[in-house]
Amino acid sequence: MEKKVSFSLSMLFFWVKGFIEVDSRFVKVSKGNTVLGFIPAGKDNQNIPLKNISSTMISSQYKIKPIIIGVIAIFISLAMMGDSFLGALILLLIGVGILGSGLQNTLIIQRAGADYYVPVPFFEKSKLLKIQDQIIEALAQDTDKTDLNMFFDKKESV
C-alpha cells in the first residue's frame, strides 16, 4: 500500500521538489531546504507514525505582501514595454512568479504534540487532495485492523 506523490515547493523555483509517501505504518515527508529561497541546501525529512496522526486538513492562504509586490512589478513591467521589451518581459515574469507565490495551499497534518505544515503553490492543490485521501485511507485501514467487531464479522461470513 505504498503511495508516493511528488510536488513542487515553490512557483518561482519549481525545480525545488518534495514528496510525501504513505505506507501502512508511516507518512514520510521530504521537503527541500533552500538558501535565499532558491539555492537547494539539503532536505527536511519527517517520518510521522500513522498512529500519531489524528487528521489532515488543506488550507488555502492568500499572502497580501507578495500579491501586492507582484501586482506592482507587473504594472511597472507593462509601463516599461515601450522602452526595453526584454527588461519588461523579465520583470513581468518575475512579477507573475511573486504574485503566484502569494497564493498557497497548505497540507496540515495534525499529530500528537503539534501540527506539521506542508506549503505548496496553488497549482499543486490536486496533489495535496490526493495525499490527503491516501492518509485518510491509511488511517481507516489502520483503525479497521484493530477493530475486533469487524474481524469477527468477517470471520462469521466466511
Summarize the confidence of residues 33-38 as an average pLDDT. Answer: 64
Q: Is 48 within a domain? A: yes
DSSP of 40-102 = EEEEEEEEEEGGGEEEEEEEEEE-HHHHHHHHHHHHHHHHHTTT-HHHHHHHHHHHHHHHHHT
Question: Are the C-beta atoms of 102 and 65 separated by less than 8 Å?
Answer: yes
pLDDT of residue 59: 94
What residue numbers bound the domain in which 96 lies?
Answer: 64-101
Shared domain for 10 and 43, answered yes or no, is: yes
Query: What average pLDDT does the structure give for the chain?
Result: 85
Range of lowest pLDDT (9-13, 15-19, 48-52, 96-100): 9-13
- If we measure between CA atoms, which residue out of 142, 138, 145 comes closest to residue 28? 138
Q: Could you tell me the CATH number of the domain that includes residue 128? A: 2.30.29.30
Residue 9 scores a pLDDT above 60:
yes
In a shared domain, residues 20 and 48: yes
pLDDT at 111: 87
Which band of pLDDT confidence, cut at 50, 70 and 90, is reported for residue 97?
confident
User: Does 113 lie in the same domain as 91?
Assistant: no
- Tell whether 94 and 118 lie within a shared domain: no
Is residue 114 assigned to a domain? yes
The more confidently predicted of residues 148 and 69 is 69
10's enclosing H/E stretch is none
pLDDT tens sequence across 107-135? 999 988 789 999 888 899 999 999 999 99
In this predicted model, what pLDDT tens digit does every residue of 139-156 receive, in sequence order?
A: 888 887 776 666 666 666
- The verdict on residue 130 lying in a domain is yes
Best CA proximity match to 132, nearest among 101, 95, 107: 107
Residue 49 and residue 7 share a domain? yes
Neighbours of 24 (CB within 10 A): 11
- How sure is the predictor about 39, in pLDDT bands with cuts at 50, 70 and 90? low
